[in-house]
Amino acid sequence: MRLLFINSGLKGIPEGYTRSIMDVLNNWPSLEVMEVWPQELTINTIKSYYPDLIMAFHGNLTPLDIIQYAHTRGILTFIWIVEDPYELDVHTSEWLHSYDYVFTTEIEALAYYNSHNVFYLPWGTNTEIYHPCSVPLKYRSDLCFVGMGFKNRAEILNAIAEEIKGLDVKLIGNWEKWGAELKPCLQDYVLPVHSRAEEVARFYAGARINLNIHRDPVDDINVNTPGIGAESLNNRTFDIAAAGGFQIVDDKRKELNKFYCPGKEIVVFRDPHDLANKIKYYLRDNTIRKEITANAFFKTVNYHTFKNRITRMFNIIKRGYDL
């Protein structure tokens, strides 16, 4: 059986997601896979390869007319949307119904789409990239944050700036691009964005505490006119756990409790004051920190990998195919 995989068409960090999916697909029994960039996808690609299945990832750059053409040829098409609810305006009715199956990482998007062909499929992780390892000193820290410098994240970091003075802190991300302003005392902690997932994994593994702050779903840089909230976990939650990293995550996503047990597999903070107190507490208590890290690692590698997710995807779309 032939599957044509259309990647996001984006370079940098998204290429790590592509690699993770391709690792699973290339090892799937009886499946022949060809990857294509959406910018290079043509009707001739469909005619020459003539796949049984087409899978698009992200999909904003994938030409709809070619997906629609494939549908007329009897090719089953499906897409995994990973930027809901931040890009909801892009996902029009025509866009959604051009595919036989649509999977989204955001559970709140299901009610908005209100379509029988849309399913919830959360993020997963790639344990070939994210796994425990011993790292050189340059990757180690007391407190590490990796992510884009959105305003809500800067507000939390600014609020705890005085509390984390004297710690070895690494803030890896682009803060100017998104209009966020860090206090001057935090500027020395900022490191450039790392587009290679392997580098990010080393920072997760080397941190005593990883800070995970989810993105604001309705800030002014999104294309989310309906103002749909976000309740699902970001990919960072699973990546940190798989890398053997301890994390403290905000309590803004209701889905968290369905994936990890707070206090046993992950630590949750309510507000900056609570966060500052928990940073101090868990830096002092190595034993409990290592115990929580081990529990999260076990849960993640067994239940929250890209292989787990794609297996579920194939089970949903299976309609007489030997997948």
Strands 190-191 and 207-212: unpaired
Structural domain contains residue 57: yes
148 lies in the same domain as 97: no
Share of the chain above pLDDT 70, in %: 98
Model pLDDT, residue 266: 98
Residue 322 lies in a domain: no
What residue numbers bound the domain in which 234 lies?
137-303
Confidence check: pLDDT of 321 > 60: no
The answer to whether residue 168 is domain-embedded is yes
Q: Model confidence at 293, in pLDDT bands (50, 70, 90)?
A: very high
Q: Is the pLDDT of residue 218 over 90?
A: no
Tens-place pLDDT, residues 143-165 = 999 998 899 999 999 999 999 99
pLDDT greater at residue 306 or residue 219: 306
| Beta-sheet strands, E only, within the chain | 2-6, 32-36, 53-57, 76-81, 101-104, 118-120, 141-146, 169-172, 190-191, 207-212, 247-250, 267-269
Q: How many domains does the chain have?
A: 2
The answer to whether residues 69 and 181 belong to one domain is: no
Q: What's the pLDDT score for residue 160?
A: 98
User: Residue 67: inside a domain, yes or no?
Assistant: yes
Mean of all residue pLDDT scores within the chain: 94
**Residues sharing a CB contact under 8 Å with residue 160, sequence separation 6 or more, in sequence order:** 272, 275, 276, 279
Q: What is the pLDDT of residue 181?
A: 87
Q: Is the pLDDT of residue 19 over 90?
A: yes
Same domain, 186 and 295: yes
Domain shared by 61 and 84, yes or no: yes
Q: What is the pLDDT of residues 52-66, one digit of tens each?
A: 999 999 999 999 999
Asked if residue 107 and residue 60 are part of one domain, the reply reads yes
Q: What is the CATH number of the domain that holds 232?
A: 3.40.50.2000
Render 69-115 in DSSP notation, one character per residue.
HHHHTT-EEEEEE-STTTTGGG--HHHHHTSSEEEES-TTHHHHH--
Residue 52 DSSP symbol: S
- Please tell me the predicted confidence (pLDDT) of residue 176: 78
Question: For residues 3 and 27, is the Cβ–Cβ distance under 8 A?
Answer: no
Residue 201 counted as domain residue: yes
Q: Does residue 175 share a domain with residue 99?
A: no
CB 243 within 8 A of CB 291: no
Same domain for 120 and 162? no
| Other C-beta atoms lying within 10 Å of the C-beta of residue 298 | 12
Mark whether 156 and 298 lie in a shared domain: yes
**pLDDT at residue 178 above 70?**
no
Kindly report, residue by residue over 236-256, the tens digit of the pLDDT: 999 999 999 999 999 999 999
188 and 60, same structural domain? no
Q: What is the DSSP string of 141-153?
A: EEEEEES---HHH
* 148 and 253 assigned to the same domain: yes
Question: Contact 259/212 with Cβ under 8 angstroms?
Answer: no
Handedness of CA 27, 31, 34, 35 (dihedral sign): negative
Same domain, 195 and 223: yes
Q: Are 147 and 294 part of one and the same domain?
A: yes
